[in-house]
Amino acid sequence: MDIVVEHLTKRYGPQKAVDNISFRVKAGEVLGFLGPNGAGKTTTMKVLSCFISPEEGDVKIGGYSIHEHPEKIKKHIGYLPENNPLYQDMNIIDFLEFIAKIHEIPKHLIQERLLDMVKVCGLEGEKHKLIRELSKGYQQRVGLAQALIHDPDILILDEPTTGLDPNQIVEIRELIRRIGKEKTVILSSHILAEVEATCDRILIINNGRVVVDGTAEEMRKQAQGNEILKLGVSGGEINDIFEKIMDIDSVETVDFIDFENQLFEVQSYPDMSSIKAIFDTCVANKFYITELTPIETKLEDIFRKLTTH
C-alpha cells in the first residue's frame, strides 16, 4: 500500500509543527523519518495514523484520503506511539486479546493471531507475565505485537528503540527489519545510525519541513564533492614530500594532519582522483606510503549541517 503525503500542515496555536510537507512511501519500503527534537516527526505520524487532523493538505493511503476515510485507513495501519503506553497490570496474552477485540478480529481467529504475534515478536517465554514485570525491550516487543495484531499493511513506529540498552536495540532493529520485508514501514528516530541500519530511504525533517529525501548513499554522494584522502608518507623529508604531492596535476590542496607521523590530507579537483598519481610519485621519489584512505563525509556531519539553525 502506497502512502502519499501532499502539502501537509499542522498547527498548534500559532506554531506550525508541520509546515507544508510532501513525500511518498512505496509499498514494501522502510522509510526512516529523521529529525532533531521538536522537528515534527510525532505530529506527522499522528496525522498519518488518523489520530489528529491537519489544517491543510492530505494524506492518501492505498488511495483513501484521511479526510474522507479515516476508519478504512486505521484498519490498514499499525501504530507504535512514542513511549509505548501499555496496560501495566495485564499480562501479555490478555492485553493482546483485548487489542484484538478492539480491532474487531473475528472471535474464532483471535487465538491463532495471538500465537502468531507471540511467535513473531519473540514473546513465548514471557507471555504470561504482567506487562509491568517485563524489561523495556520486551515491553517494546509487546508494543510491536499490538501494532501488528490486525495484520496491517503499514506500520508506523515512533522512536521504537528509545530507552533500550544496546542489546535490546539490536534485537528490536532485527525484528523491525524482518517485519519490514512484508510491510510498508515508517520509523522515526533522531539517531542516524539507527535509520541507516534499518531503512531503505531517509527523510530528514527540520522545523516541520523536509530538508532531505533520499538513500544514505545518495546523501553521501551529494555531500561528498571532491575526493579527499588521508595520506601517510615516509622515506623522505616532510616538506619535500609535501611539494612533490602538491605538484601532482589533479591535487588542489595538501594540508598537514600530523607532522610527526607525516600524515597529510589531500584534496583533488572536482571529478578527479589522485590515488594513482600519488602512488607513482612516491615510487619515483623512493618514498613509501604508510597510509592511503578516503575520508568519507559522515552522515552525522550532513545531518548536523542540515538541522542546526
Q: Which residue ranges make up the site for ligand ATP (CB under 6 A)? A: 12, 17, 35, 37-43, 82, 190
Least separation in angstroms between residue 55's CB and ligand ATP is 13
CA dihedral 136, 139, 141, 144 (to 10 degrees): -120
CA atoms of 100 and 82, how far apart (whole Å): 21
Least separation in angstroms between residue 25's CB and ligand ATP is 17
Least separation in angstroms between residue 306's CB and ligand ATP is 14
Residue from 300, 218, 296, 217 nearest 36 by CA: 300
Kindly tell me which of 97 and 159 has the beta carbon lying closer to ligand ATP: 159
CA atoms of 187 and 202, how far apart (whole Å): 10
Written as nine digits, the cell of 137 is 525491550
Kindly tell me which of 25 and 228 has the beta carbon lying closer to ligand ATP: 25
DSSP bridge partners of 206? 209
Kindly tell me which of 12 and 98 has the beta carbon lying closer to ligand ATP: 12
Kindly tell me which of 60 and 190 has the beta carbon lying closer to ligand ATP: 190
Least separation in angstroms between residue 36's CB and ligand ATP is 7
Kindly tell me which of 127 and 209 has the beta carbon lying closer to ligand ATP: 209
Least separation in angstroms between residue 179's CB and ligand ATP is 22
Kindly tell me which of 41 and 150 has the beta carbon lying closer to ligand ATP: 41
Least separation in angstroms between residue 38's CB and ligand ATP is 4
Least separation in angstroms between residue 268's CB and ligand ATP is 38
Instruction: Report which residue type is found at 217.
Output: E
Kindly tell me which of 21 and 266 has the beta carbon lying closer to ligand ATP: 21
CA atoms of 64 and 61, how far apart (whole Å): 5
